[in-house]
Amino acid sequence: MAVATVLLPLVAGCGGGQDDASRGAKGTQTTAGQQGGSKKADQSSGGFPDRGVIVTASCSVPASSPASVTVTGWDPTTWERTVSRTFTVPAEAAVAEADGVGSPLVELCADNFPGVSTSEDGPRAVAATRLRQLFDKDFSRMAVVLIDRETEATGVGYVDTSGKLTKLSGEQSEDFGDVPKEENAVFAQNGSAVWFTETDSSDRVRIASRSLAGDHAVTEQAGGDGSYLDEAALALAGDPVRGLFGKEVRISPDGRKATAFITWKGYNVADVPQRSALLKVGGVKATRLPYDADCYPYGWVDGRTVLCGPRLAKAEDSKRKNSFWTLDTSRLDGTADSPKAAVGDPIIPATDRKNTVRAISPDGKQLIFASLQGTRLEFFISAIAPGATPKKITAGDADRALSVGDVLEWR
């Protein structure tokens, strides 16, 4: 197969040669999907299955027509397409990095503009929490950041699959003052509100939500100094919902913990606080992932265990070269070295392949990863257990499903 045309860049943190504290972010073998079974959706109704489906999202930005986002559900036992929905991006929505606006949609559409070259580093890693939360629970609505291209004022809203845009922010005031700067729009999974951040001219950030009810009421959740939070984004956690504003935030399945990159501290794990918060030095209490764990956190296996890959391009331990392993965050005690038994043994054999986690099963027992050897791109499934033997995924449509865009969820 020709893969050069579908390769996309890895997310920040998977490569490079810088120390992670100084760079600013970025068992038994089973068959994929076996643990939950496959519950087919009715394609004519467009309903997403509630389990046994891998959901991907890709963005198309043609030169002469509106951008669009396609969300697709794939059966991980057959790799047949279960359901697909397309959102037409409104003209006033921020979709390009050139807009200078923080939005998961901008991240999703990165490198999809005409004339933008692709990378030979392989597909993107499993999506961070914010990309999944660009949509509501059943992928019927997508949050957007709207920009006035004359004044550069920004507000939030959402679009549905019919193309209808609903604006949640009010009109810009006629008074002399700063323009509104609402960014990082994400959906509460119950569909009740769109959450966002607002930053003033003094770098003060507030985390707030706008109700989808008729009054579009604003509820302020938290605020703080946003210094050293460039490239940060908003993710939601817990019930009741709290917002966490930080870099590369990944929320645990139970909503109680999060990993994040914190400038000057590297990758950390934090208990989700009782109120919305900024993840930064001097913000919430966080424990740095030990340096000897060499952990770039791909995501959570369960409520306490993180799935790791090498933090930099080359693993510190040759046995972990291009492999994956787990880190038990409940054992971390804040010391520089990893506590005994906190770091698991390598999951797959060390090789010269460039391997990237694409999806983690909902029961935390399996992972799907992309493996790049030269220009040949392949996909494998593996048990999340030390010494596992990866099994190549041979279904034809798996390449189409896993090569392009982002894997948002395996449920």
Average pLDDT over residues 362-373: 96
| DSSP-derived secondary structure letter, 181 | B
What pLDDT shows up at residue 40? 43
Q: What is the reported pLDDT for 214?
A: 77
Residue 7, pLDDT > 60, answer no
Look-up of token digits 């001097």: 282
Please answer whether residues 70 and 86 qualify as being in contact, where contact means their C-beta atoms are separated by less than 8 angstroms: yes
pLDDT digits (tens, 9 = 90+) for 97-127: 878 899 999 999 987 766 554 455 667 899 9
Taking only the tens place, the pLDDT of each residue in 234-283 is 999 999 999 999 999 999 999 999 999 999 899 999 999 999 999 988 88
Tokens of 382: 């593996």
What is the pLDDT, as a whole number, of residue 145?
97
pLDDT for residue 119: 54
Name which of 50-59, 76-85, 174-183, 352-361 the model is least confident about: 174-183
pLDDT at 46 (0 to 100): 61
- Residue 267, CB half-sphere, CA atoms under 13 Å: how many? 30
Contacts of residue 98, Cβ cutoff 8 Å, sequence gap at least 6: none
**Mean pLDDT score of the chain:** 85
pTM of the entire structure? 0.85
Q: Is beta strand 277-278 parallel, antiparallel or unpaired with respect to 242-251?
A: parallel
What pLDDT does 217 receive?
A: 73
Tens digit of pLDDT for each residue in 151-179? 889 999 999 999 999 999 877 666 666 78
Domain boundaries, the chain: 54-410
Say what percent of the chain tops pLDDT 70.
85
Per CATH, the number for 54-410 is 2.130.10
Model confidence over 65-88: pLDDT tens digits?
A: 899 999 999 999 999 999 999 999
CA atoms within 13 A on the CB side of 307: 32
At residue 114, the pLDDT reads 62
pLDDT of 226 over the 90 cut: no
Q: How far is CA 176 from the centre of its chain?
A: 38
